Amino acid sequence: MIYDFITVRFGEITLKGRNRGRFEQQLLRHVQDALGHMPELEFNKTYGRIYIKLNGASYKEAAAGLGKVFGIHSFSPVKRTESDADSIRETALEVWKSLPKEPATFKVSTKRGWKGFPHPSYDMNHIVGSAILRAYPGLAVDVHRPETELRVDIQPEGTYLYCASEPGAGGFPYGTNGKAMLLLSGGIDSPVAAWSAMRKGLELEAVHFHSYPFTSEQSTDKVIELARWLSVYAGKPLKLHLVSFTDIQTRFTQTGQEHLTITLMRRSMLAIAELLAEKHGAGAVVTGDSLGQVASQTLGSMNVIGRTLSLPLLRPLVMMDKQEIIDKAVQIGTYETSILPFEDCCTLFVPKSPSTNPNLRVVERTEQSIEGLGDMVRLAAENTETIVLSRGEIIKRKSAVLQESEDRDWF
Amino acid sequence: MNPEKAWLYFDHCASTPPHPDVVRTLAEVMQRHYGNPSSLHRAGLDADRLIRQARELLGKLFEVEADEWIFTSGGTESNQLAIKGAARANRSKGSHLITSVTEHASVLEAFLQLEREGFEVTYLPVDSIGRISVEQLRDAMKPGTILVSLMQVNNETGAVQPIAEAGSLLRGCPDTLFHVDGVQSIGKLPVRLREWGIDLFSGSAHKLRGPKGSGFLYVRGGVRLEPLLGGGEQESGFRPGTQNVPGIVASAKAVRLSMESREERARKLGGLRSRLLDRIALLPELEVNGDSAPDSPYQAPHVLNFSYAGMKPEVLVHALEEAGMLVSTKSACSSKDDKPSGVLLAMGYPRHRAAAGIRVSFGDEHGPEDIDRLADALAEAVRRLKPLERNGR
């Protein structure tokens, strides 16, 4: 590998006029954070770009980290040289020599970011292109569909040459579009919804409902493991709130409206999530709902369930196919964990024929008939266990009592 | 009249006024987390988690593992468990034990008991400022020495023992455990368990503004102890019995508070001690016991011991109490008998001086003006009592 730098290009944030400076700073921090395990790297931010000096570190390793940072449009391994025609020509030959496979056609594209450079772009394309043609007589120029495009980016501090670009994760830098509360089950969908939300610049806190002792400790561990994966993509520590749903769920099975159990459960979960969102300053709730997938995700169910909330309910997967969701889960690394066979609280007590078109009035009347439901919801939201995860590590699994001891400064 | 306002409390070596935050912690935890930490339900689990958190805090403060701490009922139990527990559990390796003549009663009593069980005990002497010599410790060591127990700070005189040096000597003796009684040193002197090769270390919460009935003992990982009590698996089996959850949490807090402000406290108390030394030097009737050099490294900053030879110490204690100053004769644990102080005798002082020891020990709530008031009251008491001096001092 002859490359000594990585050029990182920003994505959608370049569209955001006034906040651009702040976004770029944030992105630089996230990049530095994601590559924090590689002490050799040096970072330098210019307008719309980050240049990372490798100092001998592995490009591949750095690329793996960069691929997880939201807000990056693309990045390339580059070779840097002096901004003068001779150096550029020599370096171009060096870069060409290092290509893994010699292409049949090529073109040179020069971008003259430094207007003080004496040769116009067109001249530079010619100077570099003819040098390569002389050295590789079998090669042909194809300006429309070249097999390889050698790019020459001339800047005042130096010129960067490269042949390849990798797409970044895109989106906005983590947390630049506010914060949301995610309902995280143990399934395939919600981690993908989380990834999509984070990609759009949402900072997330996750909430998981368990029905211990009807669900096992292992099913909670599985969710912690999913959150651990997600925390790799987050630009700062990710909180996972574990909520005991047993009491509420048990109560719902005694209403005599078995077909509404799932509807009632989903509504209570959203209500609890909203309370947590308010407590932790989140401005939306995110779920993994995908239209028509199960009884609670029909249009009718979505209508009745979604009405519980005052906050916006974001459903990033709503129009995606199951297979698309699965492919994404595989790509972001959560699929293997999601398919582990532990029951979660939704697969428990599933009625034989859940309603696909619940009646809002009946649902609301049933809720009103349950004495103390509001208190149970509040209590569930108060008695959460919070786990903090950062960059794939569980940094703190804090129980309610330890949270209490911290709040009250007992130690 | 509110007694808190009525006196100046100069008996910190006996016990300390609890820190208000510690009192709050104690009350809140007692109120809210009454579950038995061994119970399987949530109340028990919560109580257990609080104990765990306390253990982790001690681990962090002393730079050791959380699991190396066990909670006890106080300094006496910590000392007894460390000494008797270690001696009995390691009898197969030998039966010789070493300690010093100036240890706290809870240590000396443990050794007397072990002697009756057939152990051989060497009691190291101390010099005129109350310190053992590491050379004498080295000479006392022999094959089969399984335990050395020393206090870091003497509770009557404030003499500081050469713990670091003793620890490095003992490093070469893997079969000899090193117990340090740190009851008077935590929060005043540096404590470096790992660096000094300490295997067992006793502490007590109420000596550092924590609650009474709460102690703690460091047991280095791998050290075996025979428990004093039977009937439960609590505290890794070393100390059966339902744990004192509020006491444990409040103790951990007290230790944290005391250690976080240690250097500042040591400086301040050392200054108060020098101030009192200067004033006592003006009273020829009073003789300072131990190292009277200001800022002596061989002396803890919060204790000053002196004698008014020829005057029963109780008389002086009561005269000062009339003026609203609470001080102590020798250690609180043995202050009700009439005998001369064993510690002062061991330092080579004559009997009448050793029988007249007065201990002043102070803490966070005191300032220079309090020391001045104490010194004034002392001067006045001496002036009043002088005609009553016994002859032949």
Question: pLDDT, tens digit, for every residue of A378-405?
Answer: 999 988 988 999 887 777 666 778 878 9
Binary contact (B25, A399; C-beta < 8 A): no
For range A200-223, the mean pLDDT: 88
Q: Which residues of B90-107 are buried (b: 16+ CB within 10 A; e: fewer)?
A: beebbbbbbbbbbbbebb
- What number is the ipTM of this complex? 0.87
Which of these is catalytic: B333, B350, B351, B372? B333
What pLDDT is stored for residue B392 in this prediction? 44
- Residue bearing the bigger pLDDT, A185 or A11: A185
Give the distance from residue B59's alpha carbon to the nearest chain A alpha carbon, in angstroms: 13
Does the N-terminal peptide bond of residue B297 adopt cis geometry, omega within 30 degrees of 0? Answer: no
Q: Which residues of chain B fall short of a pLDDT of 70?
A: 1-5, 331-338, 391-393
Which of A:374-393 have CB within 8 Å of B? none
Per-residue pLDDT band for A22 (boundaries 50, 70, 90) equals: confident
Find the angle CA(A382)-CA(A388)-CA(A392) to the nearest 5 degrees.
Answer: 150
Across the interface, whether the CB atoms of A408 and B21 are under 8 A apart is answered no
Are A95 and A150 in contact by the 8 Å Cβ rule? The answer is yes
Verify whether the Cβ–Cβ distance A409 to B21 is below 8 Å: yes
- DSSP label of B230: -
Backbone dihedral angles phi then psi of residue B107, each to the nearest 5 degrees? -85, -50
Determine the pLDDT at residue B2: 42
CA of B265: how far to CAs of B155, B178, B241, B257, B300, in Å?
18, 28, 35, 11, 11
Within 8 A by CB and 6+ apart from B73, the residues are B213, B214, B215, B244
Can you tell me the distance from the alpha carbon of B349 to that of B127, in angstroms, rounded to the nearest whole number? 10
CB–CB contact B253 A402 (8 Å): no
pLDDT of residue B3: 47
List residues of chain B with CB under 8 Å from any CB of chain A.
21, 25, 28-29, 32-33, 45-46, 49-50, 53-54, 57, 249, 252-253, 256
- Summarize the confidence of residues A212-239 as an average pLDDT: 86
Give the mutation candidate from B53, B56, B260 for the A interface (greatest A CB count, under 10 A).
Answer: B53
d(CA A26, CA A182): 22
Which residues in chain A are closer than 8 Å to B260, comparing Cβ atoms? none
With tokens 């496979």, the residue in question is A101
Please name the member of A399, A408, A409 whose beta carbon is closest to the beta carbon of B49: A399
Kindly report, residue by residue over A87-117, the tens digit of the pLDDT.
Answer: 999 999 999 998 888 899 999 999 998 889 9
pLDDT band (50, 70, 90) for residue A334:
very high
What's the pLDDT at A156? 87
- Check CB contact under 8 Å for A405 and B57: no
pLDDT band at A303 (very low <50, low <70, confident <90, very high): very high
The residue type at A278? E
When mean pLDDT is compared across A24-33, A294-303, B335-344, the lowest value belongs to B335-344
Q: Give pLDDT, residue B310.
A: 85
Confidence label for A195 from pLDDT (cuts 50, 70 and 90) = very high
In chain A, whose CA is at the least distance from the CA of B251? A411
Q: Which residue of B25, B53, B252 is in closest CB contact with A402?
A: B53
Of A400, A405, A408, the CB nearest to B53: A405
For B50, the closest chain A residue by CA position comes to: A402
- How many Cα atoms within 13 Å fall on the side-chain side of residue B194? 9
Please list every residue in chain B whose beta carbon sits closer than 8 Å to the beta carbon of residue A405.
Answer: 50, 53, 249
A207 has a pLDDT exceeding 60: yes
Decide if B13 is catalytic. no
Across the interface, whether the CB atoms of B253 and A405 are under 8 A apart is answered no
Q: Please report the pLDDT score of residue A14 as a whole number.
A: 58
Residues in chain A closer than 8 A to B255 (CB atoms): none
Q: B57 and A411: CB-CB below 8 Å?
A: yes
Cβ–Cβ gap A411/B46 under 8 Å: no
pLDDT, residue B332, reads 53
Q: Is A340 on the interface with B (CB under 8 A)?
A: no
Query: Confidence class of residue A354 from pLDDT cuts 50, 70 and 90?
Result: confident
State the Cα–Cα distance between residues A267 and B282, nearest whole angstrom: 82
For the segment A132-161, the average pLDDT, to the nearest whole number, is 92
Interchain contact, A411 vs B253, CB within 8 Å: yes
Compute the nearest-CA separation of B249 from chain A (Å). Answer: 7
Q: Which residues of B touch A402 (CB under 8 A)?
A: 49-50, 53
**In this complex, which of A400, A402, A408 lies closest to B28 when CB atoms are compared?**
A408
pLDDT at A347: 64
pLDDT computed for residue A2 by the predictor: 83
